Amino acid sequence: MLLAIDVGNSNIVLGVFEGERLTESWRLVTMRERTADELGILITHLFERSRIDLARVDGIILSSVVPPLTGTMEEMCERYFEKRPLTVDPANTGMPVLYHPPTDVGADRVVNGVAAYETFGRATSMPVIVVDFGTATTFDAISKAGEYLGGVICPGIGISADALFQRAARLPRVDVRKPPSVIGQTTVTSMQSGLFFGYVSLVDGIVARMRAELEDGDRALCVATGGMADVLAGETTAIQRVEKDLTLQGLRMIWARKRSS
């Protein structure tokens, strides 16, 4: 049994795998001030509620883009699971990273690239584009040879919504959802239209430009993941697949590769 942990800026996502099957997953709010004991109590309680014996976990893999929590999470694993996790960085995923410098790219972005390429690109030697709707909206390009080429970083849709509320005195805070029409007839629906359809157009525009720069870009498969992927994907012309557990699957693949070697 493998425990995969992805520490993001907004959420900590945990998944338990038996072989290739994801049997359970949980999502915690990322709080940088949490201690190893606080995390340990939370996570072991989740295991208890799902009736999973901690002793069955024989491996842990960790990806983190929150440096203050990386060491804390490693300490939690050693204290509560009695195992040292494999902490992923761009250099140990098994995927060549052509970013400059390679250490600057977020580990989760390369992990997503591994999962997308192994699932969709390798068998057909097809490039892959990954769109991750997280705290930031990121676009990542994987070559048909399985190299991480780089990508695009944009403010996340939640950040944009918060910025409108905070910087414009007369605009309210709104939930991001699809409005009834593009032309809003209230302030709220006008804001929702700008956020929702603005990001739909952002995705279609950036993916089109990435395809134009990629070798065999017209064949590139576009995969989406992250919190807003299900909501936005159906309105775009660019996104062809939605994989909500892409990062966890990538961590599992990296673990299996490391274990076999």
Q: Distance between CA 23 and CA 28 in Å, rounded?
A: 17
Active-site residue identified among 37, 53, 89, 108: 108
Report long-range pairs for 162-169 (Cβ below 8 Å, ≥24 apart): 164/191, 164/195
What is the C-alpha R_g of the chain? 19
Q: Which residues of 214-251 are buried (b: 16+ CB within 10 A; e: fewer)?
A: beebeebbbbbbbbbbebbbeebebbebbbebbbbbbb
Give the N- to C-terminal CA distance of the chain in Å, as an integer.
18
Single out the residue of 258, 244, 247, 255 nearest to residue 19, CA to CA: 255
H or E, element range at 129:
strand 128-133
> Do residues 20 and 252 touch, judged by C-beta distance below 8 A?
yes
Clarify whether 104 is annotated catalytic. no
> Which of the residues are catalytic?
108
